[in-house]
């Protein structure tokens, strides 16, 4: 997913305010599902809600006003009632990795009770799992696999 940085995204130092990256990551996960033909709003109306339950994030370098960013989302682990996505934020003009995050989401009901991830969603996520040799080392903070960059770059 692509995003442009506007004045409203920056802090007093002129760099993107750290909490805004959480919004960008959320949008990118939503777009990941949209590209797969699944709408998050429809899943929620069917009783499948996916809140973030754990987040690890590494801010490597700041984004600034008018930067054009690419956010890449890749499933890394799929469990019975949760999954983890590794997400990368890169500056488009130079390919510099600015942020890397490992986000764990649980599948819950509207009553906030854990439930199993539906088979259709599980298969969708498993088809895109990040291969360990191409991605993270020691389970976190790896490099973006080239195939993921190609898959996320608009035509």
Higher pLDDT, 48 or 133: 48
Question: What is the number of alpha carbons within 13 Å of residue 49 lying toward its C-beta?
Answer: 13
Mind listing the pLDDT tens digit for each residue in 15-27? 999 999 999 999 9
H runs (alpha helix) in the chain: 18-35, 40-45, 119-127, 146-152
Q: Which residues pair with 43 in a beta bridge?
A: none
Query: Which of 2, 9, 11, 128 does the annotation list as catalytic?
Result: 11
pLDDT at 3 over 50: yes
pLDDT at 145 over 80: no
Domain extents in the chain: 2-152
pLDDT at 68 over 70: yes
d(CA 49, CA 117): 10
- Residue 24 is given by DSSP the state H
Looking at domain 2-152, its CATH architecture is: Roll (3.10)
d(CA 86, CA 97): 13
* Known catalytic membership, residue 11: yes
- Per DSSP (E only), the strands in the chain are 2-4, 52-59, 68-78, 82-91, 97-106
- Residue 144 is given by DSSP the state -
Q: Residue 141: CB partners within 8 Å, gap ≥ 6?
A: 58, 100
């Amino acid at each position: 997913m692509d995003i442009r940085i506007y004045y409203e995204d920056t802090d007093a130092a002129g760099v993107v305010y750290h909490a805004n990256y959480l919004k960008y990551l959320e949008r990118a996960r939503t777009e990941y599902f949209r590209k797969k033909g699944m709408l998050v709003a429809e899943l929620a109306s069917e009783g499948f809600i996916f809140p973030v339950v754990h987040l690890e994030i590494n801010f490597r370098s700041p984004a600034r006003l008018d930067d054009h960013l690419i956010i890449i989302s890749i499933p890394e682990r799929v469990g019975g009632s949760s999954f983890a996505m590794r997400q990368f934020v890169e500056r488009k003009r130079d390919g510099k990795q600015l942020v890397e995050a490992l986000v764990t989401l649980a599948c819950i009901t509207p009553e906030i009770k854990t439930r199993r991830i539906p088979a259709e969603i599980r298969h969708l996520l498993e088809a895109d799992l990040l291969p360990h040799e191409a991605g993270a080392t020691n389970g976190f903070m790896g490099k973006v696999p080239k195939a993921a960059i190609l898959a996320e770059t608009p035509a």
